[in-house]
Amino acid sequence: MSAPSFPLLRLPEKASDLVIQCMEFIDIVTFSVASKKTKEIVRSLNLDIGRIALTVNDIIKIRVDPDEDGPSSMVWSFHPEKDNVGSEPIPVYLPARVTGMRDFMTRRNFVEYENPGLSIQEWVDHFQYIFSIEEIDYLSFANETCKFDWISLKDALGKFNINTLFFHDVCGLECAQMALKHFSSVSSVSVFSPRFNDPSRYSDILIQNLDLLTLGHEDMFLRIGLDDLLLMNSKAVSIQSPTLTDKMVNRFFKHWTRGSNPRMEVAHFAFVNDGVVNKEIMLKGLRYQEVPLDEVVGNGEKYTIWQNDRTVGTIRIHQTDQGYDVFFQLLK
Amino acid sequence: MSVEPEVPIVQVEEVRENPVLYKIISSDNHVFTISEHAVKLSKTLWDLITNLGLTAENALDNPIPVENVNGKNMETIVQFCERHKYDEEEPEYTNYIREFVLPEWDRQLLSIDNEELFQLILATNYLDIQKLMDYCCRVIGDMAKDKTPEELRIIYGIPTDAEDDALERSASDSPGPSG
């Protein structure tokens, strides 16, 4: 005979809340799918879990607080009935099994159970609801091609407010372009895949009116050129490339002083080619003034540059372990 | 007020540093002595002691009746408070999740069946002993570890949505007081 249940929901609210706060986040999520009542109880606790992200590879996953190792860090994977085989693209599946774990390495707090009937969209909805999260931090793609039919994927995930599209590992260019087409409301794109080493092949991405475009990663050999920089139309750009030179960025700033890249407010150039960034070359031909060291926030030397009498920006040059960082900031 | 104890007084270890002892009478007339440091862990009892104006001189002559807590639970509570009376204050939790390790002594103390644990939490809640509340809730929260939704429904007696709906319907169908 099994032991009698512990009547959790008959406890005073203060005590039942405390019990849930003593659970691991993995178990809190499971508790929240036990019934509508438990879902509301978890929501009422206003638990802070940080950011959530979605990954679309062989299967779809929800990652919570993906860059941290805090108590709420976890990965929820949604598995189809059978392996996603057959001719691709396939429609987004109704999960048959669900697994949750605190981290991949230790499989700490690992749970696996039959999906309680929720679609992928309903799972994302559920996470957003119980943790009061309005925005999905990013939607990431790491495979050469997307396994899923784009219309089906958009139906499943398109209703969510997704901040960033993230292309990494071996994500292919066509996959990224289709993602941007179907999730066009994103405000940010991050590209860390070596398939994007040649920017001349994706000028359609460079010219997007984004809030942030991030290109380049240590796994890439991004061959960025001046023409690529001048095409960029985002408010903030962050470029890491071994082909960046002080001369190229100087020319970029000269173009800016003449009105190019009018939406740009912030730029970061990471020089990772062991070369030296010479401030004389970086500032050559620009109208500039050095900012006194005691007024510089952050490391390095800082200079004010003028586009015209009304528009002013700053350039900060900072040597790092990997090379140099050059930051541009529009002053409003 | 004077209540004659029907059972022997439960002795606690002698408190050399602080000789002030109080007497507590449970709902089933068991009498317990508890030291001042220990009783301070219960906000309810300490407020009562303060409000009644009990002092070192008159404390043992004025047992405090606690009608909501039976002798079994009171015994556990007195043991717990005596054990933890000199603990440092708990750090503030920086988020809503309470991450702490339950000491083995306390895990043993709280290795009781679910009904007893339920009654102990009600008593702890009434007596407002935060640390014991945390520890009891950790024991109950740990029951959820790595379980499926179906297992949690059994462990915590959570009705399904259909059962909740049926309960709601029957509650709304039943005639009201004037009915």
Tell me what pLDDT residue A3 has: 62
User: Which residues 6+ apart lie within 8 Å of B140 measured at CB?
Assistant: A6, A8, A19, A22, B117, B121
Within an 8 Å CB–CB cutoff, is residue A38 touching chain B? Answer: yes
Distance CA B141, CA B73 (A): 20
Tell me what pLDDT residue A17 has: 93
CB atoms A72 and B97 under 8 Å? yes
**A32-36, A85-89, A227-231: the lowest-pLDDT one:** A85-89
Contact indicator for A143, A171 with CB cutoff of 8 Å: yes
Count residue pairs from A and B with Cβ separation < 8 A. 129
Instruction: Tell me the C-alpha to C-alpha distance, in Å, between residue A208 and each of A187, A245, A328, B44.
Output: 10, 24, 20, 63
Helix and strand numbers (H, E) in chain B are 8, 3
Distance CA B179, CA B172 (A): 12
Residue A310's pLDDT band (boundaries 50, 70, 90)? confident
Q: Which of A31, A37, A45 sits opposite B152 (nearest CB)?
A: A31
pLDDT under 50: residue ranges of chain B:
1-8, 11-12, 14-15, 179
**Pairing mode, strands A236-241 and A266-271:** parallel
Residue A332's pLDDT band (boundaries 50, 70, 90)? confident
Domain that holds residue B113: 21-142
Q: Of A107 and A1, which is predicted with more confidence?
A: A107
Within an 8 Å CB–CB cutoff, is residue A86 touching chain B? Answer: no
Tell me what pLDDT residue A232 has: 97
Distance CA B83, CA B110 (A): 13
Q: Of A309 and A193, which is predicted with more confidence?
A: A193
Question: By C-alpha distance, which of A62, A54, A31 is closest to A130?
Answer: A31
Distance CA B122, CA A275 (A): 69
Chain A residues within an 8 Å CB radius of B125: 11-12, 14-15
Tens-digit pLDDT profile for residues A70-83: 778 899 999 999 87
Q: Which of residues 158-177 of B touch A (CB under 8 A)?
A: 158-161, 164
Tell me what pLDDT residue A295 has: 76
Distance CA B66, CA B71 (A): 10
Closest CA of chain B from A92, distance in Å: 24
Residue B178 lies in a domain: no
Tell me what pLDDT residue B8 has: 45
Residue B156 in tokens: 């915590």
Query: Average pLDDT for residues A151-158, to the nearest whole number?
Result: 95
Tell me what pLDDT residue B5 has: 42
Tell me how crowded residue A106 is: count the other CB atoms within 10 A of its CB. Answer: 9
The pTM (predicted TM-score) of the whole model is: 0.88
Residue type (1 letter), B101: V
Tell me what pLDDT residue A156 has: 94
Within an 8 Å CB–CB cutoff, is residue B94 touching chain A? Answer: no
Q: What is the CATH number of the domain that holds B49?
A: 3.30.710.10
Residues A210, A211, A215, A217, CA torsion sign: negative
- ω into residue A89 within 30 of 0, thus cis? yes
Residue B162 lies in a domain: no
DSSP codes, B50-119? HHHT--TTTGGGS-EE-TTS-HHHHHHHHHHHHHHTTPPPPPPPSSSS---PPPHHHHHHT---HHHHHH
- Bridge partners of residue B144, in order along the sequence: none
Residue B119 in tokens: 């009654």
DSSP state of A148: B
Task: State the total domains in chain B.
Answer: 1
Chain A residues within an 8 Å CB radius of B152: 27, 30-31, 34, 38
Closest CA of chain B from A126, distance in Å: 14
Query: Average pLDDT for residues A130-137, to the nearest whole number?
Result: 95
Chain B residues within an 8 Å CB radius of A72: 97
Residue B118 lies in a domain: yes
Residue type (1 letter), A238: S
Tens-digit pLDDT profile for residues A4-15: 799 999 999 999
Tell me what pLDDT residue A279 has: 93
Distance CA A273, CA A245 (A): 9
Tell me what pLDDT residue B1 has: 40
Chain A residues within an 8 Å CB radius of B120: none
Helix, strand, coil: what percent of chain B each, to 5? 45, 5, 45
Tell me what pLDDT residue B3 has: 43
Residue A136, pLDDT > 90, answer yes
**Mutation choice for A interface testing from B156, B160, B167 by most A CBs within 10 A:** B156
